[in-house]
Structure 1
Amino acid sequence: MLLAIALANSHYFLVGSSYLGGFPLGQGPVDRAVAWATTTFVDGRAFPMFGLLFGYGVAQIVRRQGDARPRTVRRLLWRRAGVLVVVGFLHAVLLYVGDILAAYGVLLLVGAWAVRWRDGWLLGVAAAFWLLTALPGDGTLADATEGPDLATMLPTDLGAMLVDRAFASAFIASLGPVGFACPFLLGLWAGRRRLLERPAAEHRARRARGLLAVGLGGVAAAAVGAQPLALLQLGGGVVPDGPTLSRLAALHDATGVLGGLGYAALIALLALRIEESGRAGRRVVLALQAVGQRSMTCYLAQSVVWTLAFTPALLGLADDLTIATDALLAISAWLLTVALADWLRRTGRRGPFEVIVRRATYR
């Protein structure tokens, strides 16, 4: 998930003369191929997976509270949401304006009321929000045709950066309950049934078949739905008119939700296979597991890399990197976080931001 988020975030810093989906146009064939692959398999597919796992984690928190009163559980979730809003706001202002932690914090402030909903309500409301995603509209990342805002993403003036990023962060956070409600509610539903966790031995074969069907179906739907935009990336210079681009972006985003669900299912299936094969104790598996256990710390660490790499007063690589070399930077940043998380695991340390969230949530 964090590798996909790194690939999704970094290309929005690149400077060019024209854009489609946040990618500069007019670059070489390798760059266009990378843009096609990222549009098909990453953009608009990583964040729904994040939202599903976020809702799944909330369901786990609620389950651990046992028979606690609903009001007690809501207050616990609200404390967690407050930490996400504060950390996300500071992250957006100081490092990366595209932060999503604050948006998930606002989502949880509202979504805490949904943890006691019946399954039918969870699935019905999730479906309604998914249909909203499928409606054409303006302002989605999939139809972005402008480059980075120098005052916010690539600041040259500290004062303007702080003001502009504060307003941008507040706006992005306010969209959380709408933009991520569908995968969040589906995550709550799946978390109640522990669908991504180890089943009893007699249910393993059936669970594996279900995960495989959801995984392949979701990823295939996302890949097909992305092609109208992705194939334009291969063209390297054609930008449709506004209404057409809006419809293509809506299709891209709606199928991306299905892709996020598919990725989560395939990763859960892979985890089952790794456990059954006896490879769960291998170094690479443990390192990836350590990233998951320290996901907030690793997510924020990526933004340190973006700040160093793209800020004009620092390395200022926004003019120098191509789409392909930017993808290599994103992969390298993710690998650095894997090494960091593995070092924390081997030395017996939690992620620092996981400690903050836990202490604020559980006091």
Structure 2
Amino acid sequence: MNQHLSPVSERERILSLDMIRGFAILGIFLVNMLSFHSPFPFIDPYEWWKGPVNHTVYRFIDIFVQASFYTLFSLLFGYSLVIFREKAILKGQHFGKMAVRRLTLLLVIGIVHAFLIWHGDILITYALMGFLFLLFIRMNGKNLILTGFLLYAIPNILLIFLLIIAVLFSPEGDLALIDPKIAEAALQAYQNGSFSEIMVQRFREWSFANNLETLPIMIVSIFPLFLIGGGAAKLKWLENVEKHTKLLRNLLIISLLTGMFFKLTPYIFGGNPATDYIQDIFGGPLLAIGFAMSIALLAHKQKVKKLLYPLSYVGRLSMSNYLFQSTISTLIFYHYGLGLYGKVSVLTGTIMVIVIYIFQVIISRYWLRHYYYGPVEWLWRSFTYFRLPKMKRS
């Protein structure tokens, strides 16, 4: 069968997947906001933000949000790419060519985002991991999940042992990321610098987090999640929730309990590079899986579904909303905007996230009443399919 391939229609969309995306966009924004308004992570948050209220808000983000939502989006990325492939095969189209175009444009958007808007871009990483995922995407669901689990667990457990040894034998502070010089450079650039000076600082900070030294960490911390998400898609976990209810409920309980334990590791055993890494590398993804399973199960309960439904508006326009958050935040905090960088507390920043996200829910709902796709989603689909999908509703 060789039908003309078109973007996913509204009837074909998985509601819980859009809800999870919308929830992930909120979590990503909460974490990113720390770096939008302050030189995080080159500071000690408890010294930088004074007062018990700020400390409490930061602990909440650190335990429940940090490292959980970019990992959740990694799972969703793998899930969505498998759905895209299955639809292409069903229509008799060449998946490989379209996938390469799709990921190439994502890479271009990520480059523009990283160097012209905000250094903390994740789209470049997702695009590169997506290309690598194409080599594995033909595997069956169980093998994808098993391979992803082993690729994630084994290297990271070994790395944790090395970090524990380093902590035991290295002088205190040698392994810390806190760097007053980098923090001061960020303050000077974003508070007072011209657009070109801010671009230079963006590149410096992007290069600090994205280089040959950090590449292995990215591969073992993000790519395996693509495999696990892709495996879940092949097993139809979100499409057939009723069939998999017992499995999803067990995953929810196990992932939330173990995730919370790992998340609390620095608070139980003391903060150091080893416990901080354990907190993020195992606690983050486990909580992400728990959040996803919770939404997947709750989305099938009519009363709760109505409460969660607004998340789907943001989720359907996830890329546009993600880029909007970076754009509006840098306009608020950078010198070429309102210049509030370094002048906002974690409490104030979190309140701003809530206000902006509510606005995104409202504007996304309004947009979807008049258009089928967000502006970035429409561009992405047009390049992927080499045709212009209908944008405006009748």
TM-score interval, normalised by the smaller of the two chains: 0.7 to 0.9
Report deviation, 1:293: 1.0
Provide the rounded CA distance (Å) in 1 between the counterparts of 2:251 and 2:224.
Answer: 16
Matching residue within 238, 242, 245 for 2:272: 245
Provide the rounded CA distance (Å) in 2 between the counterparts of 1:173 and 1:184.
Answer: 21
Report deviation, 1:130: 3.3
Matching residue within 114, 117, 122 for 2:139: 117
Matching residue within 218, 230, 236 for 1:194: 236
Cα distance 1:153–1:107, how it changes in 2: closer, same or farther (>3 A)?
Answer: farther
**Superposition pairs for residues 273-292 of structure 1, below 5 Å?**
273-274=301-302, 277=303, 282=306, 285-292=308-315
Which amino acid counterpart does residue 111 of structure 2 have in structure 1?
A: F
How many residues are treated as equivalent by the alignment?
A: 338
- Is 1:62 paired with 2:92? no
Report deviation, 1:178: 4.0
Q: Is the 8 A contact 1:222 1:256 kept in 2?
A: yes
Give deviations 1:2-61, integer Å, cap 9, x for gaps.
1111111111232699834x6654511111111111111000111111100110001101
Report deviation, 1:177: 3.8
Give the aligned partner of residue 225 of structure 1: 262
Matching residue within 105, 108, 125 for 1:86: 108
SS in 2 for 1:224: helix
Matching residue within 253, 260, 265 for 1:216: 253
Give the aligned partner of residue 379 of structure 2: 356
Q: Is the 8 A contact 2:151 2:220 kept in 1?
A: no
Report deviation, 1:334: 1.5
Give the aligned partner of residue 221 of structure 2: 179
Q: Is the 8 A contact 1:78 1:112 kept in 2?
A: no
Matching residue within 286, 292, 295 for 1:258: 286
Cα distance 1:317–1:160, how it changes in 2: closer, same or farther (>3 A)?
Answer: closer
**Superposition pairs for residues 24-43 of structure 1, below 5 Å?**
25=48, 27-43=50-66
Give me the TM-score of the superposition, normalised by structure 2. Answer: 0.76
Report deviation, 1:153: 6.3
> Which is worse superposed, 294-303 or 111-120?
111-120
Provide the rounded CA distance (Å) in 2 between the counterparts of 1:77 and 1:169.
Answer: 26
Pairwise CA RMSD of aligned residues? 3.0
Matching residue within 197, 201, 217 for 1:160: 197
Provide the rounded CA distance (Å) in 1 between the counterparts of 2:39 and 2:130.
Answer: 35
Report deviation, 1:214: 1.3
Report deviation, 1:133: 3.4
**Residue segments in structure 2 that go unaligned for 5+ positions in a row:** 1-23, 167-175, 387-394
Provide the rounded CA distance (Å) in 1 between the counterparts of 2:224 and 2:192.
Answer: 34
Which amino acid counterpart does residue 153 of structure 2 have in structure 1?
A: W
- Is 1:5 paired with 2:28? yes
Give the aligned partner of residue 298 of structure 2: 270
SS in 1 for 2:300: helix
SS in 1 for 2:237: coil
Give the aligned partner of residue 100 of structure 1: 122
Q: Is the 8 A contact 1:4 1:42 kept in 2?
A: yes
SS in 2 for 1:34: helix
Identical columns (%): 23
Give deviations 1:87-135, integer Å, cap 9, x for gaps.
0110111211101011101111111111112432552243222333342
Report deviation, 1:213: 2.0
Give the aligned partner of residue 130 of structure 1: 153
Provide the rounded CA distance (Å) in 1 between the counterparts of 2:310 and 2:71.
Answer: 24
Provide the rounded CA distance (Å) in 2 between the counterparts of 1:103 and 1:339.
Answer: 30
- Is 1:324 paired with 2:352? no
